[in-house]
Chains A and B, each alone.
Chain A
């Protein structure tokens, strides 16, 4: 099974900060990675697919990069409405999907 390790597990940052979350796969998964945002009490929302493609309607301050085993999710300028938990999801070993354990983002 492919394991996904996100870091950090939690993060506190100030409005306007650049925020970076990483997701590491236990083996090469090419660019087969998505990123989701989950606000408290809400369903997850797709932000990034195929590691770096921004979903329609998602603000451009969100971005993703990486391939192979190491991936990065970035918020270029943190906004108050970005407070959420962020999850990566791999789809290399189809048909199974695996989510990372999540990164909880808070405002400092």
Chain B
């Protein structure tokens, strides 16, 4: 059973860097899937942040590109998100997710439970 689990600080100060990790279990992160991050501000809709391949190739949302860095650690079977210079508008539930394969390659078919990150001093 494939499971994804986000972890990281629940509170980040304005102007600091938000750092989250997604641990993957029951599946190799080095398989042919891409791995993504999506966020959801309280009471609002979903926003795609970006995705990464096990080789380190990345694609980011242009609106966040200047502040986002994703990385992967195949030895730990996990991938990570860093978002710099955060402000209150970055307060959201952050989800990690797996992109599917084949006909599902542009769908997120497995999601983590999400982790709430609040930006506040």
Check A55/B106 contact, CB under 8 A, given A44-B46, A87-B46, A96-B48: no
Residues of chain B with a CB closer than 8 A to A34's CB:
106-107
**How many pairs of A and B residues are in contact by the CB < 8 Å rule?**
58
Asked if A91 contacts B46 (CB within 8 A), the reply is no
The answer to whether B16 has its CB under 8 Å from any CB of chain A is no
Q: Is the CB of A49 within 8 A of B104?
A: yes
Q: Taking A49-B103, A100-B45 as contacts, is the C-beta distance between A95 and B108 under 8 angstroms?
A: no
Question: What is the size, in residues, of chain A's interface with B at 8 Å between Cβ atoms?
Answer: 25
A contact set with B: CB distance below 8 Å: 32, 34, 36, 38, 42-46, 49-50, 53, 55, 87, 89, 91, 94-102
Chain A interface helix/strand/loop/mixed: loop
**Contact partners of B103 in chain A: CB under 8 A:** 49-50, 53
Bound together, the chains give a CA A100 to CA B48 distance in angstroms of 11
Cross-chain contact of B112 among A43, A49, A87 (Cβ < 8 A): A43
Which residues of A are found within 8 Å of B95, using beta-carbon distances? 43-44
